[in-house]
């Protein structure tokens, strides 16, 4: 069975990019093809050969797809929004040196939510000669930043997205001179997504609630170490509707007016991200261009109605920028048939490299990478190798007959897979490779057993056996 992204032309499978050019509307990367051996290729690289060379499970990141999504966000803002604008990558989706370097080279900034993500981003920017611009590229998020993280962000002149009263007071104490901040507001907007990734409703751990806005603006205006340059709100993730983000622009513009009445010189509004992607054929998200056009128009309209100048518009895509660019390759191991109930196929990974199915009940596609044109006539359940009954990657998947050693590929795994991976059952985390025009480069090494114990400490009294 050929993936939905791929069409047949002559004897070669070509990408569907001519018809659908927005990566978030595809299931496979834009470079996905099937070669003469009936193998899936990404970025000109044969998946079977990649597994032979790098092992499995293996994250395979397509550079061309990642760059296309980055450019569509950047260029769409320039096209549809006449004011200043900036795209910020929500790096919690997947943070690594190579990913940060690619995204920075496309003129995109970074949303970081921990000292570790900040460190990674700074290292990447330094490597490509952009560390001196960190102050204008990095925005530090989080609902419970530590004092050391706040100090680290201040030291590197990052803009800090303030989430709560404790943080405001901490910044007042830590800052030696005015620190650039934005205020995260809870807009009270509901959207249709999983409750764990819905962040804009009133019952949320993030941000200042609407009944606090006036007090908040008054407080910040009276504390000169807090240089408030903007307002931020984020309503959730994996959202298919455009209306919630359009509604959000009105909420933020009204808050902007209120803040100005308190003397705050705010010139930036950040509407967050949250655009969904296509994991399966039933998913139908708007394209990147459509989404940017909708929020740009909504911001223009809201400012026109309110009679205020256009602010700098910021957006923070994460999933929709990187998810489709990556696939995960697994090797088939054991199988189990329960007559009349279910057929299981086990792979060499699972919940430690993709916790989304067990956490969010997320759905995925799967293909047989070494037999792409074979008839997918069997219904099987893809099980992980962890000691958990719930470690199921995909229920009732359609696949051809498979054998131990076959290579399965699950697409759309660039967001919240590597970044949420773990060592559960003491499995080493997978390697990741970047593919482009037939070249494959290792960007994350596979962990070893030695890596698993390198942070362990055995007290001396336990190491010396006493009879």
Token pair, residue 60, equals 């395979």
How many CA atoms lie within 13 Å of 57's alpha carbon, on the beta-carbon side?
28
CA 125 to chain centre: 19
326 among known catalytic residues: no
Task: Give phi and psi for 160, each to the nearest 5.
Answer: -105, 125
One-character DSSP codes across 89-144: EEGGG---HHHHHHHHHTT-EEEE-SHHHHHHHHHHHHHTT-GGGHHHHEEE--SS
| CA pair distance 434, 62, nearest whole angstrom | 6
| CA pair distance 352, 337, nearest whole angstrom | 24
Task: Tell me if the bond preceding 34 is cis, omega within 30° of 0.
Answer: no
CB 433 within 8 A of CB 58: yes
State how far the alpha carbon of 282 is from the alpha carbons of 181, 278, 299, in Å.
Answer: 40, 8, 30
Contacts for 119 with CB less than 8 Å, ≥ 6 apart: 152
Token pair, residue 207, equals 């941000």
CB atoms closer than 10 angstroms to residue 267: 15
Sole residue written with tokens 């690289």 = 45
Sole residue written with tokens 């990558």 = 89
Reduced to 3 states, what is the DSSP secondary structure of residue 13?
strand
One-character DSSP codes across 158-187: -EEEE-SHHHHHHHHHH-SS-EEEEEEB--
Contacts for 179 with CB less than 8 Å, ≥ 6 apart: 154, 160, 171, 225, 226, 227
Of 45, 191, 326, 387, which residue is the catalytic one? 387
| CA pair distance 442, 438, nearest whole angstrom | 13
Contacts for 161 with CB less than 8 Å, ≥ 6 apart: 111, 139, 140, 141, 142, 181, 182, 183, 184, 232, 270
Q: So which residues are the catalytic ones? A: 387
């Amino acid at each position: 069975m050929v993936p939905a992204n791929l069409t047949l032309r002559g004897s070669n499978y070509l990408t569907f990019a001519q018809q659908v050019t927005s990566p978030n509307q595809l299931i496979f990367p834009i470079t996905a093809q099937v070669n003469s051996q009936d193998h899936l290729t990404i970025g000109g690289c044969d998946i079977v050969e990649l597994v032979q060379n790098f092992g499995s499970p293996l994250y395979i990141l397509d550079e061309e797809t990642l760059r296309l999504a980055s450019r569509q966000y950047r260029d769409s803002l320039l096209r549809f929004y006449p004011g200043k604008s900036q795209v910020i990558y929500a790096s919690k989706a997947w943070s690594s040196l190579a990913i940060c370097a690619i995204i920075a080279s496309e003129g995109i900034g970074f949303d970081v939510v921990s000292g570790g993500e900040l460190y990674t981003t700074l290292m990447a920017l330094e490597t490509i000669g952009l560390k001196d611009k960190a102050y204008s590229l990095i925005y530090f998020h989080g609902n419970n930043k530590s004092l050391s993280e706040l100090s680290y962000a201040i030291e590197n002149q990052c803009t800090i997205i303030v989430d709560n009263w404790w943080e405001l007071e901490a910044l007042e104490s830590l800052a030696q001179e005015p620190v650039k901040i934005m205020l995260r507001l809870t807009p009270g907007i509901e959207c249709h997504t999983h409750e764990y990734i819905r962040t804009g409703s009133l019952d949320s751990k993030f941000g200042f609630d609407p009944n606090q806005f006036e007090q908040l603006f008054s407080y910040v205006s009276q504390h000169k170490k807090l240089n408030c340059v903007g307002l931020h709100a984020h309503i959730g993730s994996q959202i298919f509707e455009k209306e919630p983000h359009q509604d959000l622009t009105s909420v933020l513009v009204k808050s902007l007016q209120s803040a100005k009445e308190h003397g705050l010189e705010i010139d930036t509004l950040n509407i967050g991200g949250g655009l969904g992607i296509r994991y399966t054929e039933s998913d139908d998200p708007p394209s990147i261009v459509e989404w940017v056009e909708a929020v740009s128009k909504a911001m223009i309209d809201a400012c026109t109605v309110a009679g205020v100048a256009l602010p700098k518009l910021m957006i923070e895509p994460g999933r929709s920028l990187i998810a489709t660019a990556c696939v995960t390759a697994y090797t088939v191991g054991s199988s189990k048939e329960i007559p009349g109930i279910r057929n299981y196929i086990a792979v060499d990974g699972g919940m430690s490299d993709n916790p989304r199915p067990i956490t969010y009940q997320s759905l995925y596609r799967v293909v047989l990478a070494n037999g792409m044109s074979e008839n997918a006539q069997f219904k099987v359940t893809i099980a992980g190798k962890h000691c958990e009954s719930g470690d199921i990657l995909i229920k009732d998947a359609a696949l051809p007959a498979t054998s131990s050693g076959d290579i399965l590929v699950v697409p759309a795994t660039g967001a919240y897979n590597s970044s949420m991976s773990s060592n559960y059952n003491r499995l080493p985390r997978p390697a990741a490779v970047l593919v482009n025009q037939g070249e494959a480069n290792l960007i994350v090494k596979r962990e070893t057993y030695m890596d698993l114990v390198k942070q362990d400490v055995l007290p001396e009294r336990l190491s010396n056996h006493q009879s």
